[in-house]
Structure 1
């Protein structure tokens, strides 16, 4: 499938600038392997990059300066894990929902079916702090801001089981959620972020189409650790970025 992403021209001598959380890693590793100029502002590796100001997350002055000084597009990979936090593992009050855009997707027979709007509101509350950070990035960008969709879920729970950091999910059941449920949460999360991008004038960059199978799940060659994609996936995202600079 050919990409329909528009081109956003910049000075080709400038490194690609990507800001965000853990999904930045696979793209940064791909750029390093291919010797492509790339600057990663990975919040997990930058103590003090984000501070709370009256309960609202705020970028540090150092990060603000780097964004202001970058002339080309800025690629955001801020957040991107809310759907996994909510539903990668089974909740003690097992639930499911009908995704309005794909109502024929299967339901978990053991789960309580909740209204989709109720699930959406929870996801919106979980993404609010990341959207606040993205708003700051958008304000500081000298050029176009592009937000990269988080990687699609992987269907095979058995493959994922050994890679789940169980301790990071206190209060959840020690069971990976059904694949269809995880897919629905990913789609709903992407919808929330895509709508924000549309309103904010940010280009939403969907996951590389070749990375998903006919059901929308991540293909095996791109699997990372259940929550993340690998460097091969990162290479394809990097190619998307290069087409936009």
Structure 2
């Protein structure tokens, strides 16, 4: 048994779990394996050759951080939106932020992940029936943990400016929206969308502490749960 995995930073948890279990994974980093081109993304010769010469399932963890880029840190103009599946989830208070239409937020996020959606579509066209997409890990609810473990790159970007971690209701909805967008694209392309392992979430849909790595990623224990899903999906 072996796996082919195409993705980026969310793949680390899976790779660590696979190494600990002795499961071989052939990993291709999305930024090196697929490049932007016209009329659509182009696979690198290395990836194309590897996929052409095997019949293994192709697992994707592409594009799983747009929601964090949109709303991990409170925007300079705080906002909220109503997700149609979670209409009661709203940030506390009635003022101090702007309500953005759901359709506008969704359109912005779809544009932000456009290259990754196109990459999935290209893989599905070239290798029909072989591609399966892994949902990105849930959000971490604990704002103190997030603040205390922010990546140095985000801190450099923030500089000396004061900042706040976005309300957890907003972060949850943005994660769900990102997942919705990828699930819709997968249905259109004939790709199986594999939701997060249910045992990784608490009762409110957030990532359980046992599976935290850093503010935006899960750990190898979470990766082990995903490996089980990948085995079942083969």
Work out whether the TM-score is over 0.5: yes
TM (norm. structure 1) is: 0.87
Equivalent residues of 1:166, 1:174 under 8 A apart: no
Question: Which residue in the other structure is 2:109 paired with?
Answer: 123
Q: CA 1:173–1:74 in structure 2 vs 1: closer, same or farther (change >3 Å)?
A: farther
**Alpha carbon RMSD of aligned pairs, Å?**
1.9
Equivalent residues of 1:67, 1:142 under 8 A apart: no
The range that moved more, 160-169 or 101-110, is 160-169
Q: How many residues align?
A: 229
After superposition, give the CA deviation of every residue in 1:36-72 in whole Å (9 maximum; x if it has no partner).
122221236xxx4333324954321211221222302
Q: CA 1:235–1:181 in structure 2 vs 1: closer, same or farther (change >3 Å)?
A: same
Q: Equivalent residue of 2:205, what SS?
A: coil
Once the two structures are superposed, the pairs formed by residues 205-216 of structure 1 within 5 Å of their partners are 205-216=194-205
CA distance in 1, matches of 2:106, 2:116: 16
Can you give the 5+ residue segments of structure 2 that lack an aligned partner in the other structure? none
For residue 161 of structure 1, the aligned residue among 147, 162, 175 is 147
The alignment status of 1:39 with 2:23, answered yes or no, reads no
Shift in Å, 1:80: 0.8
Q: Equivalent residue of 2:91, what SS?
A: coil
Question: Which residue in the other structure is 1:61 paired with?
Answer: 45
Can you give the 5+ residue segments of structure 1 that lack an aligned partner in the other structure? 1-11
For residue 232 of structure 1, the aligned residue among 194, 199, 221 is 221
Once the two structures are superposed, the pairs formed by residues 195-214 of structure 1 within 5 Å of their partners are 195-214=184-203
CA distance in 1, matches of 2:162, 2:99: 18
For residue 186 of structure 1, the aligned residue among 175, 200, 203 is 175
Equivalent residues of 2:41, 2:122 under 8 A apart: no
Q: Equivalent residue of 1:39, what SS?
A: strand
CA distance in 1, matches of 2:100, 2:124: 34
The range that moved more, 63-72 or 235-244, is 63-72
The range that moved more, 156-165 or 116-125, is 156-165
Equivalent residues of 1:68, 1:142 under 8 A apart: no
CA distance in 1, matches of 2:97, 2:165: 14
TM (norm. structure 2) is: 0.91
